[in-house]
A and B are shown apart, each in its own frame.
Chain A
Amino acid sequence: MIEKFMNAFVPDKKKPVEKLPERKLEKSLDKNIEYMKLLFDGSADFTVKYVNTANARCAVLTMEGMVNKETLAVSVINPIVQSVYPIIYGSEFLRYLEKNVLSASEQVEIETVDKVLTLIMSGFAVLLVDKCSVGLAVGVQGFSFRSVSEPETEVVQKGSREGFVEPLRINMSLLRRRIKNPRMKFETLTIGTVSKTDICLCYLNDIVSQDILQELKKRLSCVDIDTVLASGYLVPYLQEENDHSLFSTVGSSERPDTVCGKINEGRIAILMDGTPLALIVPYLFVESFQTMEDYSNRPYFATFTRWLKYLAFVVSMLAPGIYVAVATFNPELFPVQILTRVVTSIGDTPFSITTEVLLIHFVYEIMREAGLRLPRPLGHAVSIIGGLVIGETAVNAGLIGAPTLMVVALTAISSYVIPNLYPPIAILRLLFIVAGGFFGIWGIVLLFCVVLVNVCSKKSFNVPFMSPIAPFSMFGMRDVLIRAGWRTLAKKRNLVGKQKSD
């Protein structure tokens, strides 16, 4: 019954998506062009350039703005026009062009209309020849894209400043540069019945678990979204069925070095064209606390920052709830000096502690969202208003108490120590406040146990989400409880991939 109830909130996502039969190219150039024009229905960016030679009529199909016109002219059109040909026609002529005339490095033969459409909308130029049912896609991409820069969400002090960008091929090259090994495999797929978005699975062929890989492909084949515009669209399909948890079992990163590190542990990265965020599966809970910088710093400092993150996680999730619970039901836990301050602040304010804390949190969340969406010039104004309104004025006006504000501020700062976990922390924090306000310490503990069981029951591609804490693995603790030195970490034993002998 619980399952039935919970399924009310989650759509079925079990069936693989059916693919329509593909239409092949015809021999007649005019018919092919007619058909393309019919499909594009007068769209302004579809261009056809007819190039006539002595042997056959040709046409170059491109999308305006997607190709580099100079490269197109130099490596495709000019060579076709200026070359001298033997007496050959049709597909033989096409192959002659491919081998002897065109100077572009990337050339792909295509036979279906679907492929022609996909490639020209990916920035290729497609050459069609009359009396030939095969086309030639030439790589002359020239669309604008953002340059490789440091990702804003994953900033490090020591380490690479490169982050993924939107084009898939560039992201692939960022990974390839870091793992110069033929065992590193890129497998491309297309998803989205309308958008036909390219995605790429990246893994090390010899250490990835084939079970996980097959399962991943099976789940990707069940994606039935028309238009896939961000990697986040795929996440529900990659998670386990009936997964209603706040914590995600699919990781993400904008950093090529982080992704390469994960691939090296036997995980699979999913790159998507148009998104700078790579997805990583399987993903464990402890990985939310691991950053690239941990591995650049000395072990003792990295261990210290790791424990700081654990503490920040606990504080950000539990501190407001515990404060509310203690102030309302268990004031004996306060030392006398703090009790005096809390009592005075409660007496001066019109709201109960629970209401106060909830109110401040909502105001903070509003400010945070506003800060994300605001144009930069206005950002300063918002922070001033936030600081003045909430920080000083509200306390002086007696609307909220200073201890409450202190707790909320500490919570807010702590939650940014582990940005990956901000969404679940933000929600859980509110739940703990309500639980603490209604049931005191009992409510906090029971809700904590429920969350704990929920997290412990999760699996990411059949790997327990709480590994290596539960089930416990002493070997895994070398990168959880502490950050062991590289001499120890180099003795690899993957938690998720195939086991490598040392």
Chain B
Amino acid sequence: MKRTFKLMAVFICVVSMLSFTGCKSNKQLNERLIIQGVGIDYTDNQYNVTLMCMDTVQGDEQAPAHTILSATGDTVLDGVTNAISKKGQEPLYSHNLFILLGDAIAKNDAITPLNFFVEYYETRPTVYVFVGDTSANAILTAKTATPQGIANLAQTQYTSGRTITAQLYKFIEDSMSKTQSPVTTQLTVKNDEVQVSGTVVFKDKRLAVTLDNEESLGVLLATGKGNLSTAVVELEGQSQSFTLSNVKSSIEVSSTDDQLIYTVNVTGKADLYEGRIGGGAGKGEVDNKIRWLIQKAVTRTVNQYKTDVLSMGKLLRQKNYEFYNNITDWDKLLKNSRANVVVDISVE
């Protein structure tokens, strides 16, 4: 009886081990296509997908290389499938660093192509979303373009304040709001190098306006994210630069039936460089510069293009839910809105 039990147990273990699909379904890492960047364009009613994939054959451990795969399809998933079928490997999306939308698709419909990345189980919600000023394929096939290099451009927001970056979940969340306008980084190719060229603002799934460096910085300052940003102040014909830290901002929104009045309070600390000895810019000049940056940004984005980059809609939703719920013409409110910018920067 004991021996029978033992034999039965061994038999069950062996059969189980051999029949478990767990051991059949796994693939070795070298059998998978590791996708590090995705570019999406839309031409002639077809999605053109460009994939940047890790290439461990050509590269080595010290200097990994990448390959570019491109294909078209009726949907993004279709395009991706057509692209990976060139390699015959199972794709691995977990190390995807960014999604780059071409200018054409950004102006047409930026959200629909991202649905696959929102819903697929392997993709990550923290990938960066970029928009190109030309086709995604042209940017990704630039000579010196690398996946990590392109992903690092997202740090520009934190190092110089020249752009505003969004991750996928933030981008989609903003697009779902009835008032919020998603913003993200715009890339370009100059001298075969991929660079940041500004910030794009979306409205109703489409690209509405492109902000230059100063406008991007203005938006960052207004929303309190301008730490480590750099700017230049002109004083008697001489340029003098400063960096900002401890930037804090608050926006107070009040509303009447057809107008939004909002006050942007910005505080922080500025470190001035160049021309400190024998005179230079002071607190007044710095405050004025920052006020000007913010005013320029909000005039263009809020009043001119009726995009809510300052999250005023969300503020109203939080502080005055009834008013927010009853808004019928948000664009009109933004167009007619009035901004008061109060700046108090201490200068070191």
Contact, chains A and B (beta carbon distance below 8 A): yes
A residues with a Cβ closer than 8 A to B are 4-5, 7-9, 327-329, 331-332, 336, 339-344, 346-347, 352-353, 437-440, 443
Say yes or no: A344 contacts B28, CB within 8 Å. Answer: no
User: Quick check: A343 and B20 within 8 Å, CB to CB?
Assistant: no
B56 in contact (CB, < 8 A)? yes
Least distance between B39 CB and chain A CB atoms (Å)? 19
**CB–CB B60/A8 < 8 A:** no
A-contact bits for B1-20, CB 8 A (1 contact / 0 none): 01101100100000001001
State whether the Cβ of B277 lies closer than 8 Å to any Cβ in chain A. Answer: no
What are 27 A-B contacts with C-beta separation under 8 Å? A5-B5, A5-B9, A8-B5, A328-B26, A331-B29, A331-B92, A331-B94, A332-B94, A336-B36, A339-B54, A339-B95, A340-B56, A340-B61, A341-B61, A342-B29, A343-B34, A346-B28, A346-B29, A347-B30, A347-B56, A347-B57, A353-B29, A438-B17, A438-B20, A438-B23, A439-B22, A443-B22
**B64 at interface, CB cutoff 8 A:** yes
How far is A23 from B140 in the complex, measured between Cα atoms in Å? Answer: 99
In order of increasing CB-CB distance, the 10 nearest A-B pairs are: A332-B94, A347-B30, A8-B2, A346-B30, A340-B64, A438-B22, A341-B61, A343-B29, A5-B5, A328-B26
Q: Which of B19-73 contact A (CB under 8 A)?
A: 20, 22-23, 26, 28-30, 32, 34, 36, 54, 56-57, 59-61, 64
In the bound complex, how far is the Cα of B9 from the Cα of A328, in angstroms? 28
Chain B residues with CB below 8 A from A327, complex form: 29
Contact assessment for B60 and A328 in the assembled complex, using a CB-CB cutoff below 8 Å: no
B148 at the interface (CB under 8 A from A): yes
Measured between alpha carbons, how far is A8 from B286 in the docked complex, in Å? 85
A343 touching B30, Cβ below 8 Å? yes
Q: How long is the Cα–Cα vector from A359 to B61 in the complex, in angstroms?
A: 24
Bound Cα distance A302, B61 (Å): 40
Q: In whole angstroms, what is the CA distance A347 to B61 when docked?
A: 12
Chain B residues at the A interface, C-beta cutoff of 8 Å: 2-3, 5-6, 9, 17, 20, 22-23, 26, 28-30, 32, 34, 36, 54, 56-57, 59-61, 64, 92, 94-95, 122, 124, 148
Closest residue of chain A to B32 (Cβ to Cβ) is: A331
Additional pairs, 15, CB under 8 Å, beyond known A5-B9, A342-B29: A4-B5, A5-B5, A7-B2, A9-B6, A327-B29, A328-B26, A331-B29, A332-B122, A336-B95, A339-B29, A340-B54, A344-B61, A346-B29, A347-B56, A440-B26
A344, B26: Cβ atoms closer than 8 Å: no
Q: Report how far A267 CA is from B128 CA in the complex, Å.
A: 61
Residues in chain A near residue B23, CB distance under 8 A = 437-438
CB distance from B58 to the nearest CB of A (A): 11
Which residue on A lies nearest to B24, using beta carbons? Answer: A438
A346 to B57, CA, bound (A): 12
Are A329 and B6 in contact, with the CB atoms below 8 A? no
Least CB distance, A50 to chain B, in whole angstroms:
57
Q: CB distance B60 to A344 under 8 Å?
A: yes
Complex CA distance for A344 and B59, rounded to whole angstroms: 9
Secondary structure call for the B interface? mixed
List the B side residues contacting A5 at CB < 8 Å.
5-6, 9
Give the chain A neighbours of B59 by CB distance below 8 A. 340
Q: How far is the CA of A328 from the CA of B24 in the complex (A)?
A: 11
A439 to B9, alpha carbons, bound, how many Å? 20
Shortest beta-carbon distance from B31 to chain A in Å? 9
Nearest-CB distance from A415 to chain B (Å)? 26
Chain A nearest Cβ from B8, distance in angstroms: 9
- The CA of A336 and the CA of B61, in the complex, are separated in Å by 11
Q: Which B residues are in CB contact (< 8 Å) with A332?
A: 92, 94-95, 122, 124
Q: Pick the most buried of A9, A327, A344: most chain B CB atoms within 10 A of its CB.
A: A344
Contacting residues, chain B, for A331 (C-beta < 8 A): 29, 32, 92, 94-95
Minimum distance in angstroms from A227 CB to a CB of chain B: 26
- Shortest beta-carbon distance from B26 to chain A in Å: 5
Which residue, A8, A342, A352, has most C-beta atoms of chain B within 10 A?
A: A8
In the complex, chain B residues whose CB is within 8 Å of the CB of A4: 5
Please give, as numbers and ranges, the residues of chain B lying within 8 Å of A342 by CB-CB distance.
29
User: Which residues of chain A come closer than 8 Å to B57, judged between CB atoms?
Assistant: 347
In the bound complex, do residue A8 and residue B17 qualify as a contact, i.e. CB atoms below 8 Å apart? no
Q: Which residue of A lies closest to B60 (CB)?
A: A344
Q: How far is the CB of B32 from chain A (nearest CB, A)?
A: 8
Q: Does B56 contact A343, Cβ atoms closer than 8 Å?
A: yes
Contact across chains for B61 and A328 when beta carbons are under 8 A apart: no
- Name which of A5, A329, A336, A440 has the most chain B CB atoms within 10 A of its CB: A336
Which residues of the other chain, A, contact B32 by a CB distance below 8 angstroms? 331
A423 to chain B, nearest CB (A): 22
* Chain A residue contacts of B22, Cβ below 8 A: 438-440, 443
Tell me, in angstroms, the Cα distance from A328 to B94 when the chains sit together: 13
Q: How far is the CB of A340 from chain B (nearest CB, A)?
A: 5
Contact present for A339 and B5 (CB under 8 Å): no
Residues of A near B6 (CB, < 8 A) are 5, 8-9
| Cα-based distance from A341 to B61 in the complex (angstroms) | 5
Q: Which residues of A contact B94 (CB under 8 A)?
A: 331-332
Least Cβ–Cβ distance between B121 and chain A, in angstroms: 11
Residues from chain A with a CB closer than 8 A to the CB of B124 are 332
- The residue in B17, B23, B60 that gathers the most chain A C-beta atoms within 10 A of its C-beta is B23
Nearest CB to that of A327 among chain B residues?
B29
Cα–Cα distance between A341 and B64 once the two chains are bound (Å): 9
Complex interface: chain B residues within 8 A of A438 (CB): 17, 20, 22-23
B45 to chain A, nearest CB (A): 34
Q: With A and B bound together, what is the CA distance between A331 and B96 in angstroms?
A: 12
Residues of A within 8 A of B122 (CB): 332
Contacts of B95 in A (CB 8 A): 331-332, 336, 339
A208 → chain B closest CB, angstroms: 38
- Alpha-carbon separation in the docked complex, A127 to B17 (Å): 68
B34: chain A residues at CB < 8 Å are 339, 343
Q: Distance (Å) between the CB of A186 and the closest chain B CB?
A: 41
In the complex, chain A residues whose CB is within 8 Å of the CB of B64:
340
State the Cβ distance, A321 to closest chain B Cβ, in Å.
Answer: 14
Q: Note all chain A residues with C-beta closer than 8 A to B30.
A: 343, 346-347
Bound together, the chains give a CA A340 to CA B55 distance in angstroms of 9
Residues of A contacting B61 in the complex (Cβ-Cβ under 8 angstroms)? 340-341, 344
